[in-house]
Amino acid sequence: MRMSNEDFQAEVFRRSAAYQRKQRSRIRILTGAGAFACCLCLTAALGIFLPQLHAAKTFENATTDNMSQYKGEEEQAEENTPETLNDEPADAAPDIAETPENSEAEDNTAEPAPEYDGPTVFVEKTDEELLDYYGLDSLPAAFDEDIELASKEKFWAIYDQYQHGLTVAEDDPDTVTEDRNTWAYIGHMRFVYLTLFKWQYGDSETQYDHKDKESEYESITDYALFTANGIGVQISYASFKPEDFEDQKMIKKIEQEVRDYLNEHRTDSAES
Amino acid sequence: MENGATYYRRWLDGDESAFAGIIEEYRDPVTFFIQRYVHDICAAEDIAADVFMYLVVHPRKYNFRDPFKTFLYVIARSRALDYLRKRKRAAQIPLDEAEPFLADETDLEEHVIRDDRKRRVNEALKQLPEDQQLAVHLVYFEEYSYEDTARIMKKNRKQVDNLLYRAKKTLRDLIGEEGELAE
């Protein structure tokens, strides 16, 4: 039996009302879902970018501080006369090694990174003071301006791992990373840098290693570690090397130069 | 005499009773047109209700320049095709359940086609392919021009010409020159 026209019209309006209710509800759901998705995206974006922003800010601050320290060191070195330096260099470094702060760093392995001030002590030293501390009479040839591979972007750092917390910090990788980062940046756009430390247990074979960029200090890819004449040497170089740079050849060349240098320039008094 | 567009304008302007005029004038032709597609009077009625619902929920869709009836038929065709697509995926109603509604279909035909000769043509028309049925329906029963027929069927003028030519040829074989159905 067919519907009358009145019933048909009533059915049309009933369907229209139902359709419009459904549409309104769909719009509400879509609006809610859209707002929720926006909130999620915003939260995710903040989660991603805020730490990066914070890290960048921290790095920028550290850079500014360290550069000003580095400049201060250079200015101080310029102001100091050679006579003044010759009066007290040999004693200066051992004194630092015996300061209460350094003893604490050695004893307390759980100390957080900010309290580790070993590198800062060395930043304040002039080149000559550091050389005296290690019993060296000049910089290694690898640091010389005339050496082609290190001519433009060289960086050098000298510190005593055993007295200034690196062995301590090995238990705390973050401290090591923080420490190396700081040092690397104090230099220039680092390319190759050497790390010297006192070593009193005889010479060792050279150990070569390749660091995983994911887990280690990002810009350092390879290094060689050896000891000679009472000094431990770590040669590290960065991943952004020139195209003509041949990894093993280069590192061996620097290693040989440093060995030769230590044989020639390490003073007897320092070795003992 | 008021046409569909006038009724619709009045209804949009707030005259609730005007919609009854639209239903009165177009319900049966639209249902009959949809029936050509779906061959199911219940479904055709249901789809027709959706076509009129479209007028209610989308009041700004009609531009008041095209014929109102053409606008309705375009919607009806679209809804009928939607239904056919959905029906392919759904279970069919068994024939014995559909039979009680055949009387409604006959009533509708009798209501829409009052001329005996047209009724005979309509009987013969059921033996034609669907496209040809629709083309003849629109031109012969609804008295649409070839252009409007092409517009409703979403075809070009030439295609409608061909459909009508073939339909006429077949109908001539089915219906005698006097208008009697050929046995």
Q: What domains are defined for chain B?
A: 1-112 (1.10.1740.10), 115-183 (1.10.10.10)
**pLDDT > 90: percent of chain B:** 26
Decide if B45 touches A, using CB distance below 8 A.
yes
Q: Taking a C-beta distance cutoff of 8 angstroms, is the pair B146, B160 a contact? A: yes
Based on the domain organization, do A121 and A172 belong to the same domain? yes
Provide the 10 A C-beta neighbour count for residue A32. Answer: 10
* DSSP one-letter string for A218-240: TTEEEEEEEEETTEEEEEEEESS
Please give the span between the terminal C-alpha atoms of chain A, in angstroms, as a whole number.
118
Give the model's pLDDT for residue B41.
Answer: 87
Say yes or no for a CB contact (<8 Å) between B23 and A3. Answer: no
Is residue A171 one of the residues assigned to a domain? yes
Q: What is the pLDDT of residues B130-163, one digit of tens each?
A: 888 889 888 888 888 888 899 888 888 899 999 9
Based on the domain organization, do A46 and A172 belong to the same domain? no
Is residue A32 one of the residues assigned to a domain? yes
Count A/B contacts: CB-CB distance under 8 Å: 39
Decide if A11 touches B, using CB distance below 8 A.
yes
Q: What is the pLDDT of residues B24-78, one digit of tens each?
A: 999 999 998 998 888 888 899 999 999 999 999 998 889 888 889 999 999 999 9
Say yes or no for a CB contact (<8 Å) between A13 and B56. Answer: yes
Return the DSSP state at B127: T
Give the model's pLDDT for residue A92.
Answer: 44
Decide if B95 touches A, using CB distance below 8 A.
no
Q: Find the domain containing A263 and state its range.
A: 91-271
- CA dist A81 and A83 (Å) reads 5
A199: Cβ–Cβ under 8 A, 6 or more apart, which residues?
A227, A230, A231, A232
Decide if B53 touches A, using CB distance below 8 A.
yes
**Phi and psi dihedrals of A38, rounded to 5?**
-60, -45
CA distances for B125 relative to A122, B78, B116, B174, angstroms: 104, 22, 14, 9
**Tokens representing residue A202 in the block:** 């005889």
Domain boundary among A52, A79, A106: A79
**Tokens representing residue A107 in the block:** 């004893």
Distance from CA of A4 to the nearest CA of B (A): 10
Average pLDDT, chain B: 82
Based on the domain organization, do A12 and A96 belong to the same domain? no
Q: Taking a C-beta distance cutoff of 8 angstroms, is the pair B71, B148 a contact? A: no
Mean pLDDT, 10 residues at a time, over chain A (272 residues)? 86 92 92 93 89 74 62 66 49 46 47 43 55 66 42 38 39 36 29 60 67 49 69 62 51 70 63 43
Closest CA to B180 of B133, B134, B116, B127: B116
A32: Cβ–Cβ under 8 A, 6 or more apart, which residues?
none
Strands A231-238 and A192-198: antiparallel
Q: Taking a C-beta distance cutoff of 8 angstroms, is the pair A114, A71 a contact? A: no
Instruction: Indicate the residue type of B146.
Output: Y
Give the model's pLDDT for residue A121.
Answer: 43
- CA dist B150 and B58 (Å) reads 24
State pTM to two decimals: 0.45
Say yes or no for a CB contact (<8 Å) between B50 and A15. Answer: yes
Based on the domain organization, do A44 and A100 belong to the same domain? no
Task: For chain A, give the number of residues.
Answer: 272
Give the model's pLDDT for residue B80.
Answer: 92
Based on the domain organization, do A45 and A102 belong to the same domain? no
**Tokens representing residue A114 in the block:** 């900010």
* DSSP one-letter string for A59-100: HHHHHHHHHHHHHHHHHHHHHS-HHHHHHSHHHHHHHHHTSH
Of A6, A12, A20, the CB nearest to B49: A12
Domain boundary among A21, A50, A79: A79
What domain count does chain A have?
Answer: 2
Say yes or no for a CB contact (<8 Å) between B20 and A9. Answer: yes
Distance from CA of A11 to the nearest CA of B (A): 7
Is residue A98 one of the residues assigned to a domain? yes
Provide the 10 A C-beta neighbour count for residue A75. Answer: 10
Is residue A84 one of the residues assigned to a domain? no
Give the model's pLDDT for residue B105.
Answer: 65
Query: In B, which residues are within 8 Å of A22 by CB distance?
Result: none
Comparing alpha-carbon positions, the chain B residue that sits nearest to A19 is B57
Of B27, B56, B57, the CB nearest to A8: B27
Q: Once rounded to an integer, what is the mean pLDDT over residues B127-132?
A: 86
Give the model's pLDDT for residue A245.
Answer: 45
Decide if A15 touches B, using CB distance below 8 A.
yes
Based on the domain organization, do A99 and A205 belong to the same domain? yes
Decide if A8 touches B, using CB distance below 8 A.
yes
Give the model's pLDDT for residue A116.
Answer: 41
**Tokens representing residue A164 in the block:** 């200034």
Based on the domain organization, do A68 and A95 belong to the same domain? no
Say yes or no for a CB contact (<8 Å) between A15 and B49. Answer: yes
Based on the domain organization, do A163 and A232 belong to the same domain? yes
Based on the domain organization, do A74 and A98 belong to the same domain? no
Based on the domain organization, do A75 and A176 belong to the same domain? no
Query: In A, which residues are within 8 Å of B23 by CB distance?
Result: 5, 8-9, 12
Say yes or no for a CB contact (<8 Å) between A2 and B104. Answer: yes
Higher pLDDT, B178 or A232: A232
* 3-state secondary structure at position A32: helix
Domain boundary among A79, A100, A123: A79
